[in-house]
Chain A
C-alpha cells in the first residue's frame, strides 16, 4: 500500500521508526511543533549521500538556533547510522527503515539498485503538522534541495506559523 503522491499541501505520513540509537520515534514527536526538513537517503556507502549529508551538517548550525528540525531516513540499521552520524559530526536525527516498512508505502524505492533496495534520495520541507511545503526529487543530484532552498523553505514555513513574524507596524 502506498501513501499517495508526496506533493505540496499533502500531509507527510507520521513515520514511526527507530532512530540512530534504536529508540522508537515518530516524526510528529520529533517535529515537536517546529518545521522539519526531512531527507531520504540511499545510505552510508553512497558517495553522493556522503557529500549531500556533509552539506546538511553545514546547515545544522543554523537549524540549532532557528527552531527547526533535520531528519534523515535510510535503510541502514541504527548502529550503522549511529557510526555514520558520528563520522559526519551530525547532531540531528537519523531514522532507520532497515525493515523497509515505509519504503514502498512512501513510493521511494530506489529502482536502479536491485540488490540493496535503499531509498531514492528525496527531500521534503514540512510544516509542524507534517504538511508538505516543498518536495525535491534527488534521483539526479542536481534535483536535490540546496541549503539555500532549504533555508528559503524554512523561512516561508516560519512566516506562516510564527504569529509574531512580522515587524510591528
Chain B
C-alpha cells in the first residue's frame, strides 16, 4: 500500500491494507498510514458484515465523536497512536479504530457502543496528532478526523 492511502480491510480477526486482502473494505483517515509505523494495539469497533453501517449524520454517530473529543482521547493519554472512523461510502459510517500502545482502557471505548470492539495487535498505523475539536463534521467524505480544505 502506498503511504497515505486510506484503504483498510477487516475480516473480523485481522486488519490488512493490501489490495485484494479478504474481508470488508473501508476507507480510514489516510494520515494514519502516512508516517513511520509503530507496533501497537488497535481496537477495531466494526464488523465484517456489509450490513453493519449507519449514516454519519445519525445522532449516535455524532455523539460518539463528541465523546471521543471530550473524554476518550484524554483518557488514552500518552498511549494514543491514532484514531480514525471507517467510511463505507460518502454517507455511511462502518465503525472506528482507536490505536494505542496500551490497550488497558479499550473496555471504555465509546465507539464500541455502535459496533463491538475487537483488540488486534498491529504494525499498520503511525502516530497522528489527536483531533483538536470541537469539529466533528467530515470534509469531502474523508474519514473523520481526517481531511482539510486548505
Write the residues of chain A forming the contact surface with B, with a CB cutoff of 8 angstroms.
19-23, 25, 29-30, 32-34, 60-61, 63-71, 82, 85-86, 89-93, 128, 161-162
For B77, give its contact among A22, A161, A162 (CB under 8 Å).
Answer: A22
Write the residues of chain B forming the contact surface with A, with a CB cutoff of 8 angstroms.
66, 69-71, 73-74, 77-78, 129-130, 132-137, 139, 148-150
Report whether A71 and B132 are in contact in the complex, using a CB–CB cutoff of 8 Å.
yes
Report whether B139 and A91 are in contact in the complex, using a CB–CB cutoff of 8 Å.
no
Report whether A21 and B74 are in contact in the complex, using a CB–CB cutoff of 8 Å.
yes
Report whether A23 and B149 are in contact in the complex, using a CB–CB cutoff of 8 Å.
no
Complex Cα distance A161/B150, Å? 9
Q: Point out which of A23, A25, A32 has the most chain B C-beta atoms below 10 A from its C-beta.
A: A32
Q: Which residues of A contact B66 (CB under 8 A)?
A: 64, 91
Report whether A23 and B130 are in contact in the complex, using a CB–CB cutoff of 8 Å.
yes
Report whether B135 and A69 are in contact in the complex, using a CB–CB cutoff of 8 Å.
yes
Complex Cα distance A65/B66, Å? 11
Q: Which residue of B lies closest to A24 (CB)?
A: B129
Q: Which residues of A contact B129 (CB under 8 A)?
A: 23, 25, 29
Q: Which residues of B contact A82 (CB under 8 A)?
A: 74
Q: Which residue of B lies closest to A56 (CB)?
A: B134
Q: Which residue of B lies closest to A128 (CB)?
A: B150
Report whether B78 and A60 are in contact in the complex, using a CB–CB cutoff of 8 Å.
no
Complex Cα distance A73/B70, Å? 17
Interchain Cβ contacts within 8 Å, total number: 74
Besides the known contacts A64-B135, A90-B70, 5 further A-B residue pairs in the complex with CB atoms under 8 A apart: A23-B78, A33-B150, A90-B134, A91-B133, A161-B150
Q: Is the interface of B mostly helix, strand, loop or mixed?
A: loop
Complex Cα distance A82/B133, Å? 14
Report whether B148 and A34 are in contact in the complex, using a CB–CB cutoff of 8 Å.
yes
For B132, give its contact among A22, A69, A128 (CB under 8 Å).
Answer: A69
Complex Cα distance A161/B148, Å? 13
Report whether B70 and A91 are in contact in the complex, using a CB–CB cutoff of 8 Å.
yes
Q: Which residues of A contact B149 (CB under 8 A)?
A: 33-34, 67, 161-162
Complex Cα distance A128/B78, Å? 27
Chain B nearest Cβ from A86, distance in angstroms: 7
Chain B nearest Cβ from A147, distance in angstroms: 14
Report whether A22 and B78 are in contact in the complex, using a CB–CB cutoff of 8 Å.
yes
Q: Which residue of A lies closest to B76 (CB)?
A: A21
Q: Point out which of B69, B77, B130, B134 has the most chain A C-beta atoms below 10 A from its C-beta.
A: B134
Complex Cα distance A61/B134, Å? 8
Q: Which residue of B lies closest to A83 (CB)?
A: B74
Q: Which residues of A contact B150 (CB under 8 A)?
A: 33, 128, 161
For A32, give its contact among B78, B132, B134 (CB under 8 Å).
Answer: B132
Q: Which residue of B lies closest to A23 (CB)?
A: B130
For A63, give its contact among B74, B134, B139 (CB under 8 Å).
Answer: B134
